[in-house]
């Protein structure tokens, strides 16, 4: 990913929601949200990452999951292809 990530806050307030991890890129100061989902991807979390990113004007979204549903991988790929080049979404299977 090429990021040097610095933690800002865990369970960061995002409107009436909480972002798992709010961080920043140490070189650019761009905000990063990290969503941990220790199960298969789902629609709920896909919506959450978009909500959290927009709430913090994050430039990078890192979605860490146990299992990737193919439809959600396609959605992330589509978002990366059709959004501004300044926004990156990483879907990471652990």
Full residue range of the structural domain in which residue 85 is found? 5-93
How many Cβ atoms from other residues are within 10 Å of residue 53's Cβ? 21
pLDDT at 86: 84
Q: What would the two tokens of residue 72 be?
A: 């959600």
Average pLDDT, the chain: 95
Residue 93 binned pLDDT confidence (cut-offs 50, 70, 90): very high
Number of H helices, E strands in the chain: 2, 5
Question: pLDDT tens-digit profile of 30-64?
Answer: 999 999 999 999 999 999 999 999 999 999 999 99
The pLDDT-based confidence of 85 (bands split at 50, 70, 90) is confident
Q: What is the CATH number of the domain that holds 85?
A: 3.40.1350.10
* Helix residue ranges, H only, 1-94: 43-56, 70-82
* Whole-prediction pTM: 0.92
Query: What is the number of structural domains in the chain?
Result: 1
């Amino acid at each position: 990913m090429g990021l040097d990530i610095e933690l800002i806050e865990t369970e960061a307030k995002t409107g009436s929601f909480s972002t798992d991890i709010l961080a920043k890129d140490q070189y650019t100061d761009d905000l990063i949200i990290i969503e941990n989902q220790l199960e298969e991807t789902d629609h709920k979390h896909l919506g959450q990452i978009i909500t959290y990113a927009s709430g913090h004007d994050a430039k990078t979204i890192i979605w860490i999951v146990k299992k990737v549903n193919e439809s959600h991988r396609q959605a992330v790929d589509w978002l990366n292809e059709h959004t501004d080049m300044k926004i990156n979404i990483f879907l990471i299977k652990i």
